[in-house]
Structure 1
Amino acid sequence: MNKTKLLVVVIGLFFSINLDAQNDFKIGINVGLNYPDIRGNEFAKFNNFKVGYLFGVSLDYYLKENLSIKANVNFETKIREFELTFFDNQAQEIGTQNYNEVFEYINIPILLKYEFGNSKFFVNGGPFLNYLLSNKIDEDYPNDDSRLVTQQKKIDFGLSAGIGTNLSLNEKNDLVIELRNDLGIIDTGGVPNQVNGTIKTNAIKLMLGWNLGI
């Protein structure tokens, strides 16, 4: 099953939930931007990441009036930019070229969310799971350095925390603005063989959601 079919199936499962208790549920869609980073070894700070994007669906299940469990299923990209320097046969530098490596994930956080009374502000936190669908380097990249790094792992796991606000459009529909941080706590691989340490992820996200009022 390819990544598009997988995302469609997951979204379909969200919208097939029995909504007999619809007052306890809010279903929504969301889009956003992410800025990733890594840590865990002495060379991690030299990586250059760019802003990526995400989109997906959300589900809030209310335990109490101001307390809910919030889950997302997102398709998410993370982009790493790196530079190669080229030399001629006399070892003289002749130029540089930038390349992008794009990581595509399914991102699933399950968070406990607390809303502060009638203020419309909230905080949430809990675990997240990322599943790596693919990582690709620009087609014109001239070197295959896959043997120079440890195997890239499919699973990334960590803790997520966010703050945000709900903006009511009408009785049923809300806009949700949230700033979230995903902090990975396991080694995801891809460490250069000559470097000791691990690679653990981090991503700051700015998200805009729409609770659909169904």
Structure 2
Amino acid sequence: MHKNKLLLLVLGLIFSFQISAQNDLKIGVNAGINYPDVRGHEYAKYNNFKVGYLLGISLDYYLTKSISVKTNVNYERKIRELQLLYFQPGGDEIGTKTFKDIFEYINIPILLKYEFLNAKLFINGGPFFNYLLHNKIEPNFPNEGSNNQTEQKKFDFGASLGIGTSISINEKNDITIEVRNDFGIIDTGGVPDHVEGEVKTNAFKLIVGWNLGL
């Protein structure tokens, strides 16, 4: 009899834990656009960045009803436009050619998220980590192989801060819309050799996510 009661108690605790775990976790997918920038040296302001995009997955683990730890694993593409001027032997300009300098990253933010107004609005903040997968120029840049700048570093690190809204679809599903800023705090390289300073990144993002409670 005691064994049956103990078994029922254990099963009840396991069942309660599973329900709690299901209410504490959300997984999702997200997509969005980014507008990058750099700072840190005198010519940084002349960079001509364009809108890029990101795709990824998300995970929310709830510590309380309104506070969670949120992380993403995103593939992120950032784009900078380059232009070359072409001149005749006499010095007259004959035209320009445009190139795209493309940076492909894995982006991982680890954020503390706080929901308010009945979970309709949220803010989040914390560190982010970027790993540079690939950097290429399309089409082939004439002096792409020249060594006239500091080494492009693989890692980027900084602080991320976002604000957004959550739109409930049903008990399990919701859509989030977020504006986020990733503010880099370390030198990522790529500075022309004749220029003093560093390159630190910045990126404004608009992210739309679909989340499923488990």
TM (norm. structure 2) is: 0.88
Distance in 1 of aligned mates of 2:146 and 2:56: 31
Q: How many residues align?
A: 197
Question: Superposed, which structure 2 residues align to 1:23-172 within 5 Å?
Answer: 23-144=23-144, 146-172=146-172
The letter for the 2-side match of 1:32 is G
2: CA distance between counterparts of 1:198 and 1:19?
A: 50
C-alpha separation between the residues in 1 aligned to 2:45 and 2:56?
30
* DSSP 3-state at the match of 1:51: strand
CA RMSD of aligned residues (A): 1.5
Question: 1:109-162 CA distances to partner (integer Å, 9 max, x unpaired)?
Answer: 000000014151000000000000001001342222541110000000000000
Stretches of structure 2 lacking an aligned partner (at least 5 in a row): 1-17
Once residues 146 and 165 of structure 1 are traced to their aligned partners in structure 2, the CA distance between those partners, rounded to angstroms, is 47
Equivalent position SS for 2:201 = strand
Amino acid in structure 1 at the alignment position of 2:186 = I
State the distance in 1 between where 2:118 and 2:146 align.
53
Q: Secondary structure at the match of 1:23?
A: helix
Secondary structure of the equivalent of 1:22? helix
The CA distance in 2 between the partners of 1:212 and 1:32, in whole Å, is 18
Q: Which amino acid aligns with 2:196?
A: N
Q: Report the CA distance between 1:212 and its aligned residue.
A: 2.2
Greater fraction of residues in strand = 2
Which 4+ residue blocks in structure 1 deviate beyond 3 angstroms? none
Identical-residue share of aligned pairs (%): 64
| Partner residue in 2 for 1:8 | none
